[in-house]
Amino acid sequence: MLLRMKRNGKNENPPAGSAGRVRAFFRSGSLAWLVLFTALSAGFILPSQAQNPNQPIPGPDASRPPDANAIMTMHDQQQKKANFEAANVERKKQIADDSARLLKLATDLKAEVDKTSKDTLSLGVIRKAEEIEKLAHSVKEKMKLTMSGN
């Protein structure tokens, strides 16, 4: 129950009934404090709920559709990646073929070396060894290209 003091210092009871209570509530300033408290708490609570700390803040260009240059750049990057992947697949196939050829040449070289005597070496054996060396170097370079691209 709210009590108001008159200027002459005498206590006065608020008027009876609901209308009197409402008038007394407004006169006391409680409504103003309630409105102020509600506004301030809503101002602090709503922004903190709206922002997600894990989500980055979008820049000014976030809502703008990409222009023709950006589209061409993205297309070029996708095309380069597709070309690189296709070249990589082709390179791996060549490495597998060259490795099989290297194995065949190495077994042929061993068979020829076994046929010759220990004091003589034929010109064909030396040529075959050089061919194996070149092919092995080629396979090594292709493997380096494949590894550096990934």
Count Cβ neighbours within 10 Å for each residue of 97-107 and write b for 16 or more, e otherwise: eeeeebeebee
DSSP class of residue 5 equals E
Rounded Cα distance between 120 and 117, Å, is: 6
Question: Are the CB atoms for 116 and 125 separated by under 8 Å?
Answer: yes
- H or E element in which residue 145 lies: helix 123-149
* Banded model confidence at residue 51, pLDDT cuts 50, 70, 90: low
DSSP class of residue 11 equals E
128 token code pair: 């075959």
Q: How many CB atoms lie within 10 A of CB 130?
A: 10
121 token code pair: 């070496």
SS3 content of the chain, % helix, strand, coil (to 5): 70, 5, 25
pLDDT over threshold 50, residue 142: yes
Rounded Cα distance between 134 and 128, Å, is: 10
pLDDT over threshold 90, residue 61: no
pLDDT over threshold 60, residue 47: no
pLDDT over threshold 80, residue 11: no
Higher-confidence position of 111 and 12: 111
3-state SS assignment for residue 4: strand
CA proximity to 16, closest of 2, 34, 29, 30: 2
- H or E element in which residue 34 lies: helix 30-50
